[in-house]
């Protein structure tokens, strides 16, 4: 794995969803720290380059969540998280992709969404995932909002190389 700019390893943000507005996970740096999780049976890749692609990714994510047995409300939360990640791709990187799949880790089953691009990268990942931070003039609820909606959240970004956000929901 190539070292990021200035010898600083890419930041990884991980954690578990707590209570409705529970504590957020700490930020760790270094190689990916999430346990190995493998896709099972299904993978859907949605190229992202326009607002129409955002809608497509959101719809496919919600449909997959419902097919996997998640509630309608959870399907709506999946769609909201995908929408935010895809919007960030269009806004900051211009193009990228959203990959949706069902996953298994031991006896657990769930859904994973990977949003990746080859855009400019994020200079300060800790700040980018903090509530209230915005470089687009918005409310700054984007990545921090996504982080609150999911069971697990990881982000790695390298200046000049791009950003990858991986989110997981586990069925209960």
Pull the structure tokens for residue 106.
Answer: 């031991």
Residue 106: how many other CB atoms lie within 10 Å: 7
pLDDT computed for residue 79 by the predictor: 95
The C-alpha R_g of the chain, in whole angstroms, comes to 15
78-100: per-residue pLDDT in tens?
Answer: 999 999 999 999 999 999 999 99
Which domains are delineated in the chain?
39-170 (3.30.565.10)
Task: Pick the range with the lowest mean pLDDT from 21-25, 92-96, 102-106, 166-170.
Answer: 21-25
- pTM comes to 0.75
Q: Which of 22-26, 51-55, 104-108 has the highest mean pLDDT?
A: 51-55
pLDDT computed for residue 29 by the predictor: 38
121-153: per-residue pLDDT in tens?
Answer: 998 888 888 765 555 544 345 788 899 899 999
- Of 132, 145, 127, 142, nearest in space to 27 by CA: 127
């Amino acid at each position: 794995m190539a070292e990021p700019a200035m010898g600083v390893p890419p930041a990884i943000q991980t954690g578990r969803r707590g209570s409705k507005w529970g504590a957020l996970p700490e930020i760790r740096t270094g190689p990916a720290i999430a346990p190995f999780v493998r896709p099972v049976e299904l993978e859907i890749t949605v190229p992202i380059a326009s607002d129409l692609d955002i809608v497509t990714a959101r719809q496919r994510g919600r449909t997959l969540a419902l097919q996997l047995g998640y509630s309608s409300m959870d399907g709506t939360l999946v769609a909201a998280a995908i929408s935010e990640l895809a919007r960030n791709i269009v806004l900051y990187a211009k193009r990228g992709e959203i990959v949706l799949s069902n996953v298994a880790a031991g006896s657990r089953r769930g859904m994973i969404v990977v949003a990746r691009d080859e855009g400019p990268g994020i200079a300060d990942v800790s700040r980018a995932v903090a509530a209230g931070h915005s470089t687009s003039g918005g409310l700054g609820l984007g990545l921090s909002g996504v982080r609150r909606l999911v069971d697990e959240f990881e982000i790695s970004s390298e200046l000049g190389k791009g950003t990858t956000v991986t989110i997981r929901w586990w069925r209960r």
